[in-house]
Amino acid sequence: MTSSRATYAYDESGLQGVFLEDIEIRRCRACKTSEAVIPRMEELHRVMAHTIAGKRPRLSPEEIRFLRTHLGWTQRAFATRFGVSVERVSRWENGHPISRTAERLLRVLILTRRSNGAFSAEMLTKLAADPSRRNGRMNIKRVPVNRIAKWRVERA
């Protein structure tokens, strides 16, 4: 095995345009396979969920699915909590528009899991008012903080 550091397209997340910077990539010389070493996966997914929930464009179907699974909910559990049918959740995750109210609630659920209170209801109003669907690239980098590597969004 050889090891190097590179930017890694994190397609396994189910989201397009997520790149992890400075990730260890291990390659087998014999079989030519490679694998990324992604530390602190739970924290990475929390950072990604907060970034998605705090962005201005409407949520894409892939982002809705990511946020639901980040909450640890099945489609049935999600539907129950939102007061909709399982079929409706499936439609949201397959391209039919999610209602603005449901989208706001999903954002609040993700963002209030964080204890620092850095998100206001006023910001939710601004987020929901933007009808555009610009979904761009998200670069995430591991940075040392007090001898512990943390994830930080470089661009979203």
Return the pLDDT at 153: 87
Give pLDDT tens digits for 74-124: 999 899 888 899 999 999 999 999 999 999 999 999 988 754 444 444 554
What angle, 0 to 180 degrees and rounded to 10, lies between the N-to-C axes of helices 100-111 and 121-129?
Answer: 140
The rounded mean pLDDT for the chain is 86
Between residues 124 and 131, the one the model is more confident about: 131
Q: Is the pLDDT of residue 49 over 60?
A: yes
Alpha-carbon span 126 to 63, nearest angstrom: 19
User: Per the confidence metrics, is the pTM higher than 0.85?
Assistant: no
Region 24-46: mean pLDDT is 93
As beta bridge partners, residue 34 has 27
